[in-house]
C-alpha cells in the first residue's frame, strides 16, 4: 500500500467517525472534532466540519506544531489535538465532543468517581475534569493534557469531553463508554448518593483491564 492510499484511508475513517458521532447525537452542529496521527503529521477535521459538508479532501493536515500543510482551516480546538498527540506518544487519535451527559457533569467541575467498575477502564480510580480554560486556547490544551495523565479520557470543565486511543476506533469507543458512564452517573445521582468502589477493588479491576495505571498501553 502506498502512503497515499494510507492517507486516503485515514481521511475516510475520520469522515465515518464524524458520521458515527452525529448518529449517536454527540456532535451538535459541528461541535465535535477528531484527529489522528499520519506519520509525523496530524490529520484533523476542519472548522465547521459535519457529515453534510465534509469530503476526504477537506480534512486538514497539520505539522505536530500545528502549522497547516496545504490548505484548509483546522478545527478551532487544534491546540488540544496537537498537544495531546505530542504529549502521549502511544495515542494515535483524539476525539472531542460536547456529548450531553459529559457536558452536564463537566459543569459540576468534579471528577467521575468509582461509582462503576468501568471507570477503571480509563486508567485510574476516577475520570478527571480538566480545569476550565477558554475554548480553542493553548491553555485549554495544557489543562486537558494535565487531566489525561495516566488516563484515556477526561471531562473539560463547562465544555465537554476529550478521549484518546491507540486508534481512531479505540478513541471512539472510549468516547461512547464515557458518555454512557456519565449518563449512568447522572441517573444514579438523581436517585440518591452512589456507593463508591474502594481503591483496592478498583486497582484489582484496573489490573484486569491491563491498565496498571498507564492509561494507554504501548504497542
Ligand atoms: Zn468543544
C-alpha of residue 141 to centroid of ligand 1, in Å: 11
For the stretch 136-184, pLDDT in tens is 999 999 999 999 999 999 999 999 999 999 999 999 999 999 999 999 9
Provide the grid cell at 37: 496521527
6 is catalytic: no
**pLDDT higher than threshold 90 for residue 189:** yes
What residues contact 115, with CB distance under 8 A and at least 6 apart? 184, 185, 188, 194, 195, 196, 197
CA of 203 to the centre of ligand 1 (A): 32
Q: Which of 7, 22, 41, 77 is catalytic?
A: 77
For the chain, what is the mean pLDDT? 93
Spatial CA neighbour of 129 closest among 99, 98, 156, 102: 156
Give residue 140's pLDDT. 98
Residue with the larger pLDDT of the pair 27 and 173: 173
Residue 135 grid cell: 475554548
For strand 60-62 and strand 41-44, is the pairing parallel, antiparallel, or unpaired? antiparallel
If residue 163 lies in a helix (H) or strand (E), which one and from where to where? Answer: strand 160-165
Assigned architecture for domain 3-209? 3-Layer(aba) Sandwich (3.40)
Q: What are the structural domain ranges in the chain?
A: 3-209
**What string of DSSP letters covers 1-24?**
--HHHHHHHHHHHHHHHHHHHHHT
Mean pLDDT to the nearest integer, 90-109 = 97
Predicted confidence (pLDDT) at residue 12 exceeds the cutoff of 50: yes
Assign 3-state DSSP to the chain and report helix, strand, coil percentages, each to 5: 45, 15, 40
pLDDT of residue 124: 93
Residue 16 has, within 13 A of its CA and on its CB side, a CA count of: 9
In the reported structure, the alpha carbon of residue 1 is separated from the centroid of ligand 1 by a whole-number distance in angstroms of 35
Give yes or no for residue 188 having a pLDDT over 80.
Answer: yes
pLDDT reported for residue 29: 81
Please state the pTM of the whole predicted model: 0.94
Across the strands, what pairs with 41? Answer: 38
User: Residue 132 and residue 205: Cα distance in Å, rounded?
Assistant: 30
DSSP secondary structure, 25-69, as one string: T--GGG--EEEEEETTEEEEPBTT--TTT--GGGSEEE-TTS-EE
Give distance in angstroms: CA of 127 to centre of ligand 1: 18
**How many angstroms separate the CA atoms of 199 and 205, rounded?**
10
Q: How confident is residue 7, by pLDDT bands cut at 50, 70 and 90?
A: very high
| C-alpha R_g of the chain | 17
Q: Find the mean pLDDT for residues 42-55.
A: 93
Amino acid at each position: 500500500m502506498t502512503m497515499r492510499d494510507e492517507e486516503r484511508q485515514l481521511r475516510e475513517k475520520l469522515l465515518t467517525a464524524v458520521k458515527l458521532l452525529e448518529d449517536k447525537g454527540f456532535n451538535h452542529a459541528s461541535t465535535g472534532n477528531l484527529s489522528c496521527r499520519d506519520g509525523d503529521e496530524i490529520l484533523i477535521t476542519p472548522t465547521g466540519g459535519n457529515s453534510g459538508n465534509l469530503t476526504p479532501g477537506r480534512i486538514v493536515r497539520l505539522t505536530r506544531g500545528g502549522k497547516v500543510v496545504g490548505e484548509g482551516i483546522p478545527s478551532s480546538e487544534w491546540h488540544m489535538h496537537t498537544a495531546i498527540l505530542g504529549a502521549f506518544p502511544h495515542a494515535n487519535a483524539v476525539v472531542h465532543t460536547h456529548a450531553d451527559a459529559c457536558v452536564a457533569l463537566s459543569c459540576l467541575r468534579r471528577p467521575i468517581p468509582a461509582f462503576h467498575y468501568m471507570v477503571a477502564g480509563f486508567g485510574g480510580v476516577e475520570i478527571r475534569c480538566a480545569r476550565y480554560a477558554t475554548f480553542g486556547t493553548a491553555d485549554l490544551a495544557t489543562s486537558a493534557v494535565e487531566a489525561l495523565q495516566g488516563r484515556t479520557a477526561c471531562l473539560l470543565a463547562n465544555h465537554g469531553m476529550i478521549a484518546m486511543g491507540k486508534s481512531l476506533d479505540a478513541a471512539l469507543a472510549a468516547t461512547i463508554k464515557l458518555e454512557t458512564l456519565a449518563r449512568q452517573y447522572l441517573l444514579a445521582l438523581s436517585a440518591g448518593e452512589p456507593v463508591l468502589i474502594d481503591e483496592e477493588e478498583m486497582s484489582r479491576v484496573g489490573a484486569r483491564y491491563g491498565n496498571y495505571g498507564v492509561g494507554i498501553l504501548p504497542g
